[in-house]
Structure 1
Amino acid sequence: MCGIAGLFHCGTPKPVDPERVRTMCDALAHRGPDGSGVWTEHGVGLGHRRLSIIDLEGSPQPMHSANGRAVIVFNGEIYNYRELRRELEREGARFRTEGDTETILAAWQRWGTGCLDRLDGMFAFALYDRDRRSLFLARDRFGVKPLFTAMLSDGSLAFASELKGLLAHPLMRRQVDPLAIEDYMAWGYVPDHRAIISGVEKLPAGHFRLLEHGRDPAPPRQWWEISFTERARGREADLSVELLHHMRAGVASRMVADVPLGAFLSGGVDSSSVVALMAEADRAPVTTCSIGFDVAEADETAHARAVAAHFGTDHHERVVSPDRMADLDRLVEIFDEPFADASALPTLQVCALAREHVTVALSGDGADEAFAGYRRQMFHHREEQLRGVIPPLLREPVFGALGRVWPKADWAPRAFRAKSTFQSLAEGGAAGYARAVSVLAPEQRDRLFGEGFKRIRGVYRAEQEWIRTMDGAPARSGLDAAQYADLKFWMPGDILTKIDRTSMAVGLEAREPLLDYRLVEFAATLPHRQRVRGRQGKVLLKRTMERYLPDDILYRPKQGFSVPLAQWFRGTLADEARRIVRSERLLQSGWFDQTVLADLAEKHISGRSDNARVLWQLLMLEKSLTRLDLAR
């Protein structure tokens, strides 16, 4: 696992100052504390920071191919590199190292851009072909590894694993993209189709760019897609056998490392399943790490402890409380862009805990998206069934009216909080699901934003890209389309960004075995009843794991890696809530209505409303803008 950065002149090639590339890489030193390197040639410069995982001494980067034709900087792991090496050797390739980086170089020279279809792994890389005078930028299927790009005023394209790598270049402009504020306040993160800084782009997951000297920059091209258009046939028992095969293969492939390896363990279905299969695959005890909270209803350590005892793991845990808010400034530095998924706070802590014991940790990320484990997916599935029997001309007047008059009762039991359900049913399926996923719905953002910002934003709304993603999904049902959007929009922007930045911040490599692409492709073919049944999600996955895990782990209510923000902002952090809504940085931006901001804090502290998530959003936004020193 590493950090990469570099420069490429798409037009007239110009000299590249190696010190500029080195400075960009130095901003990524946390991603690669074990080594660094820079290579430049007329019109191109590649830089690398290394975290050694495989072939610890033998694979320095930038790496040249044996014939000197190609040079690469690579962030990630190729899990099937040994099989690829054997195939390439049969076709005449010769290797000087034992790692996976050289395999990509040989695969490029043998198959060109088609090499991507053969790579099983998580990766972002930049490969310069000296014969073709081209730069090949590529990102893995799901976007596990990030890649930021920007065109600079001297005609060069800059790229880096994190935004801070780009910002280290003196020609980078620091101006906020106002539409990123709209996106951020809707989702709690800046999605992959946008960046907080105007002119910065993120290479989309499953895409590549092939750039050439003397030509205009080529746009990204998609090289992989997930499809929900097929349906698996067969008995549940047979599907379960196939699922278990894919899960075992995903876990086994990610247990290959030349350094200590362990797992994150929350005590939920997904992480517990990974730990169970790791314990099955290795005689040695699995090293497991868990984070708990000082608020009982948010704490899962008892469940994690039970799973650890069940499999005899070497277990470690730590408790997060409001006095760990000193980590907040660290989070802001880690993410660069504003990022308001509060579970990043315990994720950073569990990564730091894991790094004390291992260098690689396996997580359970990806299963909820692939197997329909989120409550919102189950609700959406039922809503889609209702939409199918109620004519649209009737839905909008009836449910729209109920949604407008029904009170927003944050304090009430979940069954009585029907306002958002009525609003969702009044809309189409994609719009309704976008509402379910968002932190703030369109009408909530409209109340929050000032009139000046609304004029700048114009007709754009954050939901438009989500709706476009669902409407264009290769899917047969509303549930299919929802899962597709979660995999393509939510997961790279939120879930994978969170685990990449927090793990890399402490020099830890995180791997996601439940995102093995063959496993996800199989999950996308499952009939609805093997994904969602009544109020139960991940049906086949849970049935399959019954042979490993007790029912009180598999079938207890889903808790998630939630942070008790509501309690914190009414207690230890109440003064912080009042400070943030009076922040000079936010108020001078002109983006927000000052009166509405002040009201948010007081209603939350008094218990009249639960505004914790938006207060957290505002807090992270203010701190990020201050640190980046961004101009409006």
Structure 2
Amino acid sequence: MCGITGIFDTRGFDEISRELLHRMNESQFHRGPDEGGLHLEPGVGLGHRRLSIIDLSSGQQPLFNEDGSVVVVFNGEIYNFQELVPELEALGHIFRTHSDTEVIVHAWEAWGEACVARFRGMFAFALWDRNLETLFVVRDRFGVKPLYYAFLDTGEFIFGSELKSLMVHPSLARDIDPLAVEEYFAYGYVPEPRTIFKRACKLPPGFTLTIKRGQARALPKQYWDMPFTPVAVTDEASAMDELVERMQESIRLRMIADVPLGAFLSGGVDSSAVVAMMATQSAAPVNTCSIGFDDPAFNEIEFAQKVADRYKTNHHIETVASNDFSLVDKLAGVYDEPYADSSALPTYRVCELARKHVKVALSGDGGDEHFAGYRRYRWFRYEERMRAVMPLALRRPLFGALGKLYPKADWAPKVFRAKTTFEALARDTVEGYFHGISLLSDAQRRQLFSPAFKRELQGYQAVEVLRRHAAVAPTDDPLSLVQYLDIKTYLVGDILTKVDRASMAHALEVREPLLDHELMGWVSGLPVDLKLRGTEGKYLLKKSMEPYLPHDVLYRKKMGFSVPLAAWFRGPLAVTIRGVVLGERLASTGLFNQDFLREVVETHQSGRRDYSVILWTVLMFDAFLGQVLGVDETERQAA
């Protein structure tokens, strides 16, 4: 796991500033504190920070082919590199290291752009071919590893593992993209390919970017997408056996390391399954790490302990206090963009704990999206069945009116919150799903934004992100469609971003065996009834894990990795949140309706409504302004 960065003069051979490239590289020191390297030649500069995991003695980067004409900087792991080496050696290539990085340069020489299809792993890399005068930039299929880039007015193309690397370059304009602001307040993050800045982009998962000297611009090209190719299942038992075999293979590949390795163990199904599969393939006890909470409503530690006891793991636990909000400002600097998933707090802590004991940790990320584990999938299926009964032309006015008339009932169990259901039924499939997952509803965002900012948006709505992906989705099944939408948005923009930044802040490599593209390509084609059966999500995964895990770990109610925001904003953070939300810094942006912000604070703190999600989302936007953009606030007004 590493950090990469670079500058490419697309117009010619202008000298790249070593000092600038060095500063861009060092901004990502935390991603690779073991070693750093730069390569400069006319018009090209590549930088690398290394976290040594495999071939500790000779895997330094930038890394070259035999004659030095091809050079790569690489972040991630190619898990099948050992299989590719003999094939490339048979083609005449000579290997000087035992690292997976060297496979990339020789694969490029052998197969060109098609080389990326041969790689199995998590990766982001940039490869320069001097003979072809070509820069080839790649991101892995699920976006486990990040990659930001920008085409500058100077004719330079710049890239980096984190946005902070690009921000070092003086020619990158920091104008905030109003569409990104709209998307952030809907999703809680800025979805790919947009960033918070107009001039910077994220390379989408499963895409490459090829730039030739003399070419001022280039468009990303997709090399992989989730197949959803139907899988023939003869019987449930054989599907269970095949799933276990595929999971064991994926985990075995990700247990290769020359440094101490372990796993996160939350007590949920996915991380518990990963630990169980690790334990069945390891002669030594597995290292496991868990974070507990001193608030029982958020604590899953007893379930993690059951799995740890069953497999006699070297289990490490730390308890996070329910008032552990000291990281709020720090998180803004970790994520670079506005980021509103409050579980980033405990994720940061579990990475901090894991790094005390291991350098590589396996996680269960991706299980909910691929096996239909989120509760929202059950509600979506219920709503979709109702939508199928009546055409949209009739549903929209009928349920739209009911949604307006029915009172809001956040305090009630979900089954009684008919207002939200009516509002969803008044929409089409994609719009209905968007309504269900949005942090702030369309109506709340309209209230939040100032009239001037709404004019700047020119009618743009964040639902267009989902519509864009739905238009090219390789499936017609409604449940598979929304899983696909989550894979393209929530998984990469929220979950994987959270884990990458939190782990890299502690120089910890995290591997996601449930995001193996061969495993999940197969899972995507399974009948949906094996993923969501009745009200039971992850049906096949849970059935296949019954011999390996306790029943109450598999079938208890999903808890999630949450923090008590509502109580914070009425208690220990009451003064802070009022000062931020009603402060001068947010007001000075001109983006927000100050009357609505005041109403949200007062209503929440009076206990009449739970507006903690809105308040947290606004708080993290303010932290971005202060920590990342350095916007000063001369006075905080708590009027």
Shorter-chain TM-score tier: over 0.9
1:56 and 1:258 in contact (8 A); partners too: yes
1:127 and 1:135 in contact (8 A); partners too: yes
Render the CA deviation track for 1:81-130: whole Å, top value 9, x for unaligned: 00011211122211000100001111000000111110001000010001
Question: Separation in 2 of the partners of 1:399 and 1:86?
Answer: 63
Question: Separation in 2 of the partners of 1:194 and 1:215?
Answer: 22
SS at match of 1:326: coil
Partner residue of 1:541? 541
1:196 and 1:337 in contact (8 A); partners too: yes
Question: Separation in 2 of the partners of 1:538 and 1:183?
Answer: 29
SS at match of 2:38: strand
Cα distance, 1:628 vs structure 2: 2.4
2:8 and 2:43 in contact (8 A); partners too: yes
Cα distance, 1:629 vs structure 2: 2.3
Counterpart amino acid of 2:94? R
Question: Separation in 2 of the partners of 1:336 and 1:620?
Answer: 11
Alignment of 1:153-168 (within 5 A): 153-168=153-168
1:247 and 1:513 in contact (8 A); partners too: yes
Are residue 171 (structure 1) and residue 171 (structure 2) matched? yes
Are residue 25 (structure 1) and residue 25 (structure 2) matched? yes
Cα distance, 1:606 vs structure 2: 2.0
Alignment of 1:339-350 (within 5 A): 339-350=339-350
2:295 and 2:322 in contact (8 A); partners too: no
Counterpart amino acid of 2:294? D
Render the CA deviation track for 1:503-549: whole Å, top value 9, x for unaligned: 00000000000001111111111112101112111110111000101
Render the CA deviation track for 1:471-506: whole Å, top value 9, x for unaligned: 321112111110011111111111110000000000
Are residue 596 (structure 1) and residue 596 (structure 2) matched? yes
Counterpart amino acid of 2:449? F
Question: Separation in 1 of the partners of 2:439 and 2:470?
Answer: 18
Cα distance, 1:43 vs structure 2: 0.8
Partner residue of 2:431? 431
SS at match of 2:326: helix
Counterpart amino acid of 2:366? G
Alignment of 1:583-622 (within 5 A): 583-622=583-622
Deviates more, 1:85-94 or 1:25-34: 85-94
SS at match of 1:8: strand
Partner residue of 2:637? none
Deviates more, 1:89-98 or 1:350-359: 89-98
Question: Separation in 1 of the partners of 2:603 and 2:296?
Answer: 24
Partner residue of 1:221? 221
Counterpart amino acid of 1:12? G
2:155 and 2:216 in contact (8 A); partners too: no
Cα distance, 1:179 vs structure 2: 1.3
Question: Separation in 2 of the partners of 1:362 and 1:520?
Answer: 17
Partner residue of 2:255? 255
TM-score (norm 1): 0.98
Deviates more, 1:218-227 or 1:398-407: 398-407
Partner residue of 1:143? 143
Cα distance, 1:631 vs structure 2: 7.9
Counterpart amino acid of 2:70? A
SS at match of 1:325: coil
TM-score (norm 2): 0.97
Partner residue of 2:55? 55
Render the CA deviation track for 1:594-615: whole Å, top value 9, x for unaligned: 1110111121122211111111
SS at match of 1:262: strand
Partner residue of 1:451? 451
Question: Separation in 2 of the partners of 1:270 and 1:510?
Answer: 15
Q: CA RMSD in A?
A: 1.3
Alignment of 1:494-505 (within 5 A): 494-505=494-505
Question: Separation in 2 of the partners of 1:231 and 1:481?
Answer: 17
Partner residue of 1:265? 265
Counterpart amino acid of 2:494? D
SS at match of 1:72: strand
Render the CA deviation track for 1:134-187: whole Å, top value 9, x for unaligned: 100000000000111112232100101001101111222222111111111001
SS at match of 1:291: strand
Render the CA deviation track for 1:55-87: whole Å, top value 9, x for unaligned: 001111111111222001000000000001121
1:175 and 1:631 in contact (8 A); partners too: no
Partner residue of 1:383? 383
Cα distance, 1:30 vs structure 2: 0.2
Render the CA deviation track for 1:241-266: whole Å, top value 9, x for unaligned: 11111111111111000000000011
Counterpart amino acid of 2:596? V
Counterpart amino acid of 2:283? R
Partner residue of 1:185? 185
Counterpart amino acid of 1:509? E
Partner residue of 2:326? 326
Partner residue of 2:636? none
1:369 and 1:483 in contact (8 A); partners too: yes
Question: Separation in 2 of the partners of 1:454 and 1:427?
Answer: 22
Partner residue of 1:517? 517
1:174 and 1:630 in contact (8 A); partners too: no
Deviates more, 1:591-600 or 1:410-419: 410-419
Identity %: 50
Question: Separation in 2 of the partners of 1:215 and 1:290?
Answer: 49
Deviates more, 1:566-575 or 1:457-466: 566-575
Partner residue of 1:483? 483
Partner residue of 1:211? 211
Partner residue of 1:305? 305
Cα distance, 1:230 vs structure 2: 2.3
Deviates more, 1:462-471 or 1:509-518: 462-471
Deviates more, 1:559-568 or 1:343-352: 559-568
SS at match of 1:83: helix
Residue correspondences, number: 632
Partner residue of 2:359? 359
Question: Separation in 1 of the partners of 2:229 and 2:485?
Answer: 14
Counterpart amino acid of 1:447? Q
Question: Separation in 1 of the partners of 2:219 and 2:232?
Answer: 35
Counterpart amino acid of 1:181? V
Question: Separation in 1 of the partners of 2:291 and 2:369?
Answer: 22
Counterpart amino acid of 1:325? F
Question: Separation in 2 of the partners of 1:291 and 1:408?
Answer: 35
Question: Structure 1: which 5+ runs fail to align?
Answer: none
SS at match of 1:514: helix
Render the CA deviation track for 1:186-217: whole Å, top value 9, x for unaligned: 01111112111120011110000111111232
Cα distance, 1:421 vs structure 2: 1.4
Alignment of 1:85-124 (within 5 A): 85-124=85-124
Cα distance, 1:322 vs structure 2: 4.7
Alignment of 1:229-244 (within 5 A): 229-244=229-244
Deviating runs (4+, > 3 A) in structure 1?
none
2:332 and 2:628 in contact (8 A); partners too: no
Question: Structure 2: which 5+ runs fail to align?
Answer: 633-639
- Structure 1 residues 197 and 393: alpha-carbon distance in aligned structure 2, compared to 1, 3 A threshold: closer
Deviates more, 1:63-72 or 1:255-264: 63-72
Counterpart amino acid of 1:394? L
Cα distance, 1:229 vs structure 2: 4.7
Question: Separation in 1 of the partners of 2:469 and 2:583?
Answer: 35
Render the CA deviation track for 1:302-351: whole Å, top value 9, x for unaligned: 11111111111111112222543222222111101011000000000000
Question: Separation in 1 of the partners of 2:7 and 2:48?
Answer: 12
Question: Separation in 1 of the partners of 2:100 and 2:87?
Answer: 14
2:250 and 2:519 in contact (8 A); partners too: yes
Render the CA deviation track for 1:349-373: whole Å, top value 9, x for unaligned: 0000000000000000001111111
